[in-house]
């Protein structure tokens, strides 16, 4: 992999010092850290989806099939915790943010390289703790990823350890956020004005702010639950005068903005891909850039839409519903502008663009069903049913997940200097797309019929929907295996990629593939916006 | 080359960057405490008389002493920074030492205060506490949680200052390269500021 | 199975179809344009792209339209919510619903207790929902109502069922191991039938003894009812099969290994042991089980405990 001459410095993959694993896990090079995240996160992703797969398998028949009720409960908790805190929240900012953000703004590294490495270590520690809950006595937490009090205070499973894992991951997230905000403010190359930042950078920048501002509240909230379990301070325990609803408020104050931590960077990646393959500038650059900030800002005011039936006040319900609808506006703007950017373009049907199309399709379904959930009277019926499960798999897997896959196929040649087999990649996409819809679309119907979520067992009228969905999961498995296999094969045997594989205009495409150790021999001077394409 | 390019070239010497980073970190710390403060105000509103009764059981005397101790330590850390900027390494070290000792005094006081409460059965989960009105249970729950969290921050601050003292000794933090001590000082001020809020909320409410 | 069978539920359904309709329309337009552009402007057909940086009037129009659309959707959802939350009819039949791990119990104004929710057709019913332990959620899909049960407070929701029949009743908030078994039925019947049922003696249970009543003698038949109405059934079988807790079948008089304060010992199952197992289950924990049985202190009266003891004795 490392036999490329990349200028005088050699590329970042080439052996450094004594080489070996140590030269990776103690490296402060943002590119190596990005790769470290990629390896760690993809492994955990495979663990998480495998859990999801087994959950689906359990639901293949009514009654106990392959596991007991409390195993199922632990599985969806762990599935949720891994998928959210270990996969989808960190994936795009940590992998591509780390790898690309400095190069895209023309810097040699992030502002605090050592802190950056520390965040990765925190991430690993958190992952370790989360996995540890599986192995020690009492078994993994069985609370659902939301850890609602008072059940989380009472249950005998390893909730304390799981909560500690999430708090440690929170540290990792905060440190990354601080690093990125400072980097964008301080390290832009000359001429890289705010209005010339690639849209991916805007998205990561907005994400970083949410990470900084929202994560501490989750952290302290979970610490309170730990204190409640160990000491019994009573804040969330009605027997002592506490109030479990307050837990939900504090939880969603973080966790709603967190869903935008997941989606924003993916949207940023799509905003890079669409103009490059349309060979024209993005439609409404400013609107797309500011809508990232808009999502981050309005997104922090809507947390109550998870609590419409918790029994909080009527006025609060109306307020939160109204803002929930407003938060759709910036997302809608982005979708319009992506579609608008195709107009009068010169489109190349390359793999990343196809993945981006799948993203737009699936994310729109997910987002629009979010609006259905945000409508007050409908939420009463749909809350905590499979409708919600379908909604969030569409936005998270269909949105953030497919966005990540799109980014992976777009930047893969840059990161590793090799190309994958595009035919196979397209076939994998087709399988993923069909499998995904077969798996998750029936869940909308089940939800409307009234199938509650987190149910180990179900009533006869839900059988058909469950069966279709299970078949979908098999197709999806085939897609994931094909996609990952194709990429791994390309890593070792793929054709050499060009420096500017897709004809992009942002800075990362102006350096060799894979990028040299120091990114740039000389800090470049930026003269144009990010989507100013050379025409032949 | 303009300013940003220079920074990019010497990435480890960006003082403004280091300051921005530190301030962002302080924000996260404030938000960390924001959660419990919010809970405090909600419960205080719901159980105001219980809170007042419980508050009057805390020792105003020990609380005031601790406030003075922390305020003094904030002053000494500020003085140590200006001493270093003037190039007076000895005085810097002395003042840093004073700050750390004051932090320790604060913790010792806190220990005795907690101990007195625990002896009286006023700790979370104790039978004596559970038989009291709900607001008082919550008051003491919050009291132990928040002052405990604050004490952890005092310990963290002391460790940071200890490391910085070491750096000053080794001339890694000097008259011309003092951003670390400034940031350490900022952190110490934050610890102090949080206490300034905790003090009236728990001790002066009566 | 799809249509609502309550008056508000029908209104909610029509909102659902309007809002979903709007969403489908928006979605179709966007996907149509996306596909249309990508077939029209391929590299072959249009080798020379045109840079369009934006178009302020168009963008503002879209912004305005979108705001109008979302406000419309918000407004549609708001109306019924107001009715559900704020306009509970004064004359509604009040039923107390209590959730506990993992059974529902319903109490009627005359003190009648039941595990299924029986309601008259075409009469408003107000559910006053409480919980004994953790969060639960009262959910009848056919009526389109849901409300969390929060320990420490009472939350209300109401509905008017307009079609006789038997409907599923779920617990919709995750509440632990047997969350998915916390099911019941909502039976909608004619008003006459309902009144008959409400006053009826046949399957009725006596109202719980007033607090402080002298210790009642146990009664195995009453114990059997309590076994299901108090939720023991969720964890204990009577046929020897292992659930979350040990089966009750034939345990009386046998010896069992328990952990007390971290030490194992053997104990004979007698009245006293069963009593303490119910009141303070975590004092002696049967080996091989988790200490998760909810303490019944303050929930079961002495008489009820005695009945349960008799019932367990009777299971040979
Ligand atoms: C990536 C994650 C992600 C994203 C981006 C979103 C986006 C949105 N979500 Fe979602 N949501 C989750 C993840 C996410 N959500 C999760 C994990 C849960 C469940 C948590 C749990 O309980 O476990 C949840 C639950 C959830 C609920 C609570 C359901 C319940 O439990 O009762 C609600 C209710 O309002 C909601 C609403 C929305 C809305 C309005 C958006 C909006 O931001 C969507 C905006 C997007 C669009 C609108 C589509 C694109 C635009 C167009 C196609 C243009 C045309 C549109 C218009 C003109 C409006 N979500
Ligand atoms: C990014 C987030 C993400 C992703 C990608 C997924 C992916 C999947 N999820 Fe996930 N899910 C969540 C996040 C996510 N989920 C969250 C947050 C919850 C809520 C948890 C809670 O309630 O607390 C949830 C809940 C949830 C439920 C509801 C549980 C319930 O309420 O009862 C179900 C049920 O079907 C489910 C299924 C699946 C399936 C089948 C996949 C599929 O995509 C997986 C497809 C499987 C594969 C692609 C497997 C690939 C396997 C290999 C490559 C190895 C081969 C191994 C073998 C063949 C053995 N999930
Ligand atoms: Cu009770 Cu779920
Ligand atoms: Cu949300």
- For C19-44, write each residue's pLDDT tens digit: 999 999 999 999 999 999 988 888 88
Q: DSSP letter at A43? A: H
Q: Which residues contact A484 (CB under 8 A, 6 or more apart)?
A: A42, A46
Q: What is the mean pLDDT of residues B171-200?
A: 86
- Range among A207-221, A251-265, A299-313, C23-37 rated most confident: C23-37
State whether C77 and A378 contact (CB < 8 Å): yes
pLDDT of residue C177: 84
Q: How far is the CA of A218 from the centre of ligand 4 (A)?
A: 14
pLDDT of residue B206: 66
pLDDT of residue A511: 85
Q: What is the mean pLDDT of residues A442-468?
A: 90
Q: How confident is the model at residue C203 (pLDDT cuts 50, 70, 90)?
A: very low
User: Closest-lying ligand to the alpha carbon of C184?
Assistant: 3
Contact A196, A218 (CB under 8 A): no
Contact C37, A345 (CB under 8 A): yes
Q: How confident is the model at residue A408 (pLDDT cuts 50, 70, 90)?
A: very high
Q: What is the mean pLDDT of residues A476-491?
A: 92
pLDDT of residue C206: 44
Given a cut of 70, whether residue B154 has pLDDT beyond it is: yes
Furthest-apart CA atoms within chain C: distance in Å: 95
Cα C145 from chain centre: 11
CA pair distance A462, A449, nearest whole angstrom: 8
Quick one: three-class SS letters along chain B?
Answer: CCHHHHHHHCHHHCHHHHHHHHHHHHHHHHHHHHHHHHHHHHHHHHCHHHHHHHHCCCCHHHHHHHHHHHHHHHHHHHHHHHHHHCCCHHHHHHHHHHHHHHHHHHHHHHHHHHHHHHHCCCCCCCHHHHCCCHHHHHHHHHHHHHHHHHHHHHHHHHHHHHHHHHHHHCCCCECCECHHHHHHHHHHHHHHHHHHHHHHHHCCCC
Question: Residue C208, by phi and psi: left (phi above 0), alpha (psi -120 to 50) or beta?
Answer: beta
Could you tell me if the CB of C178 is within 6 A of ligand 3? no
Could you tell me if the CB of C294 is within 6 A of ligand 3? no
Given a cut of 70, whether residue A257 has pLDDT beyond it is: yes
Ligand 2, from A46, A359, A393, A428: best to mutate by most atoms within 8 Å of Cβ?
A: A393
Helices (H), A394-421: 402-416
State whether B35 and A185 contact (CB < 8 Å): no
Neighbours of C216 (CB within 10 A): 15
Q: How far is the CA of C179 from the centre of ligand 3 (A)?
A: 4
Q: Could you tell me which chain B residue has the CA closest to the CA of A183?
A: B17
CA pair distance A58, A80, nearest whole angstrom: 17
pLDDT of residue A321: 92
Contact C281, C269 (CB under 8 A): no
Counting from 1 in the atom list of ligand 1, the atom nearest the Cα of A88 is: 1
Given a cut of 90, whether residue A355 has pLDDT beyond it is: yes
What share of chain A has pLDDT > 90, as a percent?
37
A71 touching C (Cβ < 8 Å): no
- What are the boundaries of each domain within chain A? 3-510
Q: How confident is the model at residue B200 (pLDDT cuts 50, 70, 90)?
A: confident
Q: What is the mean pLDDT of residues A490-496?
A: 87
- Range among A507-516, B121-130, C200-209 rated most confident: A507-516
Pairing of strands C103-107, C117-120: unpaired
Tokens of A498: 């060009």
For the purposes of burial, counting CB atoms within 10 Å of the CB of A427, is it exposed (0-12), middle (13-18) or buried (19 or more)?
middle
Given a cut of 90, whether residue B19 has pLDDT beyond it is: no
Instruction: Residue C282: name the closest of C272, C269, C273, C295 by CA.
Output: C295
B4 touching A (Cβ < 8 Å): yes
> Which of A151, A332, A377 faces C12 most closely, judged by CB atoms?
A377
CA pair distance A144, A454, nearest whole angstrom: 8
Name which residue leads in pLDDT, C234 or A174: A174
Mean pLDDT of chain A: 87
- 3-state DSSP call for residue A439? helix
B179 touching A (Cβ < 8 Å): no
Q: What is the mean pLDDT of residues A101-112?
A: 87
Q: What is the mean pLDDT of residues A408-424?
A: 91
What are φ and ψ of residue B9, in 5° steps? -70, -40
CATH number of the domain to which B75 belongs:
1.20.120.80
A342 touching C (Cβ < 8 Å): yes
Mean pLDDT of chain C: 83
What share of chain A has pLDDT > 70, as a percent?
97
Name which residue leads in pLDDT, A504 or C96: C96
pLDDT of residue A110: 85
**∠ at Cα A393 (A390, C168), nearest 5°?**
25
- Range among A92-101, A157-166, A187-196, A389-398 rated most confident: A389-398
State whether B141 and A235 contact (CB < 8 Å): yes
Q: Which residues contact A208 (CB under 8 A, 6 or more apart)?
A: A93, A176, A177, A178, A179, A180, A181, A184
Q: How far is the CA of A257 from the centre of ligand 4 (A)?
A: 7
Interface test with A, best of C17, C26, C85, C241 (most A CBs within 10 A): C85
Contact A101, A201 (CB under 8 A): yes
Q: What is the mean pLDDT of residues B150-163?
A: 92
Q: What is the mean pLDDT of residues B175-181?
A: 81
Interface test with A, best of C10, C24, C54 (most A CBs within 10 A): C54
pLDDT in tens, C271-282: 888 888 888 787
Q: What is the mean pLDDT of residues C67-78?
A: 91
The ipTM assigned to this model is 0.86
Count of H helices and E strands in chain C?
6, 13
Given a cut of 60, whether residue A6 has pLDDT beyond it is: no
Chain C: list its partners (3+ Cβ pairs within 8 Å). Answer: A
Mean pLDDT of chain B: 83
Which amino acids bring their CB within 6 angstroms of ligand 1? A 146, 259, 262-263, 305-306, 324, 327-328, 331-332, 335, 364, 367-368, 370-371, 373-374, 379, 383-384, 388, 391-392, 395-396, 399-400; C 26, 30, 66, 69-70
Residues pairing with C285 in the sheet: C259
Name which residue leads in pLDDT, B30 or B178: B30
Q: DSSP letter at C213? A: P
Q: Among the listed ranges A102-111, A115-124, C180-189, C220-229, which one has the minimum average pLDDT value?
A: C220-229
Q: Among the listed ranges A209-223, A394-408, C226-240, which one has the minimum average pLDDT value?
A: C226-240
What are φ and ψ of residue C161, in 5° steps? -75, 135
pLDDT of residue A273: 92
Given a cut of 80, whether residue B152 has pLDDT beyond it is: yes
Name which residue leads in pLDDT, A138 or A324: A324
Interface test with A, best of B2, B3, B6, B21 (most A CBs within 10 A): B21
Given a cut of 80, whether residue C208 has pLDDT beyond it is: no
pLDDT in tens, C115-158: 889 999 989 999 999 998 889 999 999 999 999 999 888 998 99
CATH superfamily, domain A3-510, is Cytochrome c oxidase-like, subunit I domain (1.20.210.10)
Q: How confident is the model at residue C211 (pLDDT cuts 50, 70, 90)?
A: very low
Residues pairing with C155 in the sheet: C129
Q: Which residues contact C219 (CB under 8 A, 6 or more apart)?
A: C306, C307, C310
Q: How far is the CA of C166 from the centre of ligand 1 (A)?
A: 34
A125-136 in b/e form (b: 16+ CB < 10 A) is: bbbebbbebeee
Between helices A244-278 and A285-299, what is the axis angle to 10°? 170
pLDDT of residue A200: 92
Handedness of CA B74, B76, B82, B87 (dihedral sign): negative
pLDDT of residue B136: 83
pLDDT of residue C201: 54
Q: How confident is the model at residue A16 (pLDDT cuts 50, 70, 90)?
A: low
> Model's pTM, two decimal places?
0.87
Given a cut of 80, whether residue A349 has pLDDT beyond it is: yes
Residue B3 lies in a domain: no
- Range among A189-193, A385-389, B31-35, C286-290 rated most confident: A385-389
Given a cut of 80, whether residue C288 has pLDDT beyond it is: no
Domains contained in chain B, number: 1
Residue B1 lies in a domain: no
pLDDT of residue B1: 36
pLDDT of residue B18: 85
Q: How confident is the model at residue A19 (pLDDT cuts 50, 70, 90)?
A: low
Tokens of C277: 């197992």
Q: How far is the CA of A370 from the centre of ligand 1 (A)?
A: 4
Contact C302, C215 (CB under 8 A): yes
Domain of B87, in residue numbers: 18-203
CA pair distance A525, B90, nearest whole angstrom: 46
pLDDT of residue C315: 82
Residue B27 lies in a domain: yes
Could you tell me if the CB of C248 is within 6 A of ligand 3? no
């Amino acid at each position: 992999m490392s036999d490329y001459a990349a200028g005088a410095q050699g590329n970042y993959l080439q052996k450094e010092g004594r080489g070996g694993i140590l030269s990776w896990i103690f490296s402060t090079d943002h590119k190596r850290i990005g790769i470290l995240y990629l390896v760690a996160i993809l492994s955990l992703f495979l663990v998480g989806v495998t859990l999801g797969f087994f959950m689906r398998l359990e639901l293949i028949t009514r009654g106990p099939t392959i596991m007991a009720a409390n195993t199922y409960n632990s599985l969806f908790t762990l599935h949720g915790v891994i998928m959210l805190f270990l996969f989808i929240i960190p994936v795009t900012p940590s992998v591509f943010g780390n790898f690309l953000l400095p190069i895209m703004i023309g810097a040699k590294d992030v502002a605090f390289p050592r802190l950056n490495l520390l965040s990765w270590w925190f991430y690993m520690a958190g992952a370790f703790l989360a996995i540890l809950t599986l192995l020690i006595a009492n078994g993994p937490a069985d609370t659902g990823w939301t850890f609602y009090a008072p059940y989380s205070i009472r249950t005998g499973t390893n909730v304390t350890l799981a909560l500690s894992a999430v708090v440690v991951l929170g540290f990792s997230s905060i440190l990354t956020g601080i690093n990125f905000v400072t980097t964008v403010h301080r390290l832009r190359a000359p001429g890289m004005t705010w209005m010339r930042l690639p849209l991916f950078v805007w998205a990561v920048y907005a994400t970083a702010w949410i990470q900084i501002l929202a994560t501490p509240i989750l952290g302290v909230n979970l610490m309170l639950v730990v204190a409640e379990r160990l000491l019994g301070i009573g804040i969330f325990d009605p027997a002592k005068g506490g109030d479990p609803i307050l837990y939900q408020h504090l939880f969603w104050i973080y966790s709603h903005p967190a869903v935008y931590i997941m989606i924003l960077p993916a949207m940023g990646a799509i905003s890079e891909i669409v103009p490059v393959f349309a060979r024209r500038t993005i439609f409404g650059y400013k609107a797309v850039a500011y809508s990232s900030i808009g999502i981050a800002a309005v997104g922090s005011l809507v947390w109550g839409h998870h609590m419409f039936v918790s029994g909080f006040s009527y006025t609060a319900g109306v307020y939160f519903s109204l803002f929930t609808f407003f938060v759709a506006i910036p997302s809608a703007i982005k979708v319009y502008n992506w579609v608008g950017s195709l107009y009068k373009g010169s489109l190349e049907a390359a793999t990343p663009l196809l993945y981006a199309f799948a993203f737009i399709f699936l994310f729109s379904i997910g987002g629009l069903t979010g609006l259905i959930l945000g409508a007050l009277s409908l939420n009463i019926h749909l809350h905590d049913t499979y409708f919600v499960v379908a909604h969030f798999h569409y936005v998270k897997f269909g949105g953030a997940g497919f966005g990540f896959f799109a980014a992976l196929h777009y930047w893969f040649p840059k990161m590793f200097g090799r190309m994958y087999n595009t035919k196979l990649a397209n076939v994998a996409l087709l399988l993923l797309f069909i499998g995904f819809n077969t798996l998750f679309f029936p869940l909308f119907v089940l939800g409307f019929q009234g199938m509650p979520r987190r149910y180990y067992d179900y009533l006869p009228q839900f059988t058909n929907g469950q069966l279709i969905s299970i078949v979908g999961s098999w197709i999806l498995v085939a897609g994931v295996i094909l996609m990952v296999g194709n990429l791994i094969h390309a890593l070792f045997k793929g054709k050499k990629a060009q420096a500017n594989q897709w004809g992009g205009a942002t800075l990362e495409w102006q350096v060799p593939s894979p990028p040299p150790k120091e990114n740039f021999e000389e800090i470049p001077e930026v003269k144009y916006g990010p989507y100013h394409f050379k025409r032949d | 080359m303009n300013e940003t390019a220079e920074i990019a070239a010497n990435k480890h010497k960006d003082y403004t960057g280091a300051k921005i980073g530190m301030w962002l970190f302080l924000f996260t710390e404030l938000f960390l405490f924001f959660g419990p403060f919010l809970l405090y105000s909600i419960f205080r509103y719901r159980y105001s008389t219980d809170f007042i009764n419980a508050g009057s059981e805390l020792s105003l005397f020990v609380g005031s002493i601790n406030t003075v101790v922390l305020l003094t330590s904030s002053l000494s850390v500020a003085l140590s920074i200006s001493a270093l900027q003037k190039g007076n390494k000895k005085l810097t070290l002395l003042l840093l030492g004073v700050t750390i000792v004051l932090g320790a005094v604060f913790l010792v006081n806190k220990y005795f205060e907690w101990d007195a409460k625990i002896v009286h059965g006023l700790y979370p989960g104790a039978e004596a506490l559970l038989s009291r009105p709900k607001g008082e249970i919550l008051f003491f729950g919050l009291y132990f949680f928040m002052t405990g969290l604050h004490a952890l921050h005092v310990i963290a601050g002391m460790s940071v200052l200890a490391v910085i003292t070491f750096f000053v000794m080794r001339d890694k933090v000097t008259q011309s390269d003092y951003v670390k001590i400034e940031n350490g000082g900022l952190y110490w001020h934050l610890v102090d500021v949080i206490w300034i809020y905790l003090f009236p909320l728990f001790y002066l409410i009566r | 199975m799809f249509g609502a069978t309550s008056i508000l539920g029908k209104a909610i359904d029509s909102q659902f179809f309007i809002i979903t309709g709007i969403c489908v329309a928006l979605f179709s337009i966007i996907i149509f344009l996306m596909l249309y552009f990508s077939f029209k402007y391929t590299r072959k057909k249009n080798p020379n792209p045109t840079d369009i940086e934006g178009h302020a009037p168009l963008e503002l129009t879209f912004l305005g339209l979108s705001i109008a659309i979302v406000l419309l959707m918000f407004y549609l959802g708001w109306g019924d919510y107001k009715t559900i939350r704020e306009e509970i009819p004064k004359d509604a039949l009040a039923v107390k619903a209590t959730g506990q791990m993992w059974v529902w119990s319903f109490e009627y104004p005359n003190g009648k207790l039941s595990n299924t929710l029986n309601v008259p057709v075409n009469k408003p019913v107000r559910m006053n929902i409480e919980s004994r332990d953790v969060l639960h959620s009262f959910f009848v899909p056919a009526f389109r109502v849901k409300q969390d049960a929060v320990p420490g407070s009472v939350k209300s929701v109401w509905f008017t069922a307009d079609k006789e029949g038997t409907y599923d009743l779920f617990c919709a908030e995750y509440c632990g191991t047997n969350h998915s078994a916390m099911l019941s039925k909502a039976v909608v019947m004619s008003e006459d039938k309902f009144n008959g049922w409400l006053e009826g003696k046949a399957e009725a249970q006596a109202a719980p003894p007033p607090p402080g009543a002298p210790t009642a003698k146990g009664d195995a038949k009453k114990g059997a009812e309590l076994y299901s109405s108090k939720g023991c059934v969720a964890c204990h079988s009577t046929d020897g099969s292992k659930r979350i807790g040990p089966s009750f079948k034939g345990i009386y008089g046998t010896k069992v290994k328990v952990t007390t304060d971290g030490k194992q010992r053997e104990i004979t199952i007698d009245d006293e042991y069963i009593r303490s197992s119910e009141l303070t289950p975590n004092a002696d924990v049967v080996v091989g089980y988790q200490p998760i049985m909810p303490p019944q202190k303050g929930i079961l009266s002495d008489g009820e405990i005695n009945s349960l003891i008799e019932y367990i004795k009777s299971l040979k």
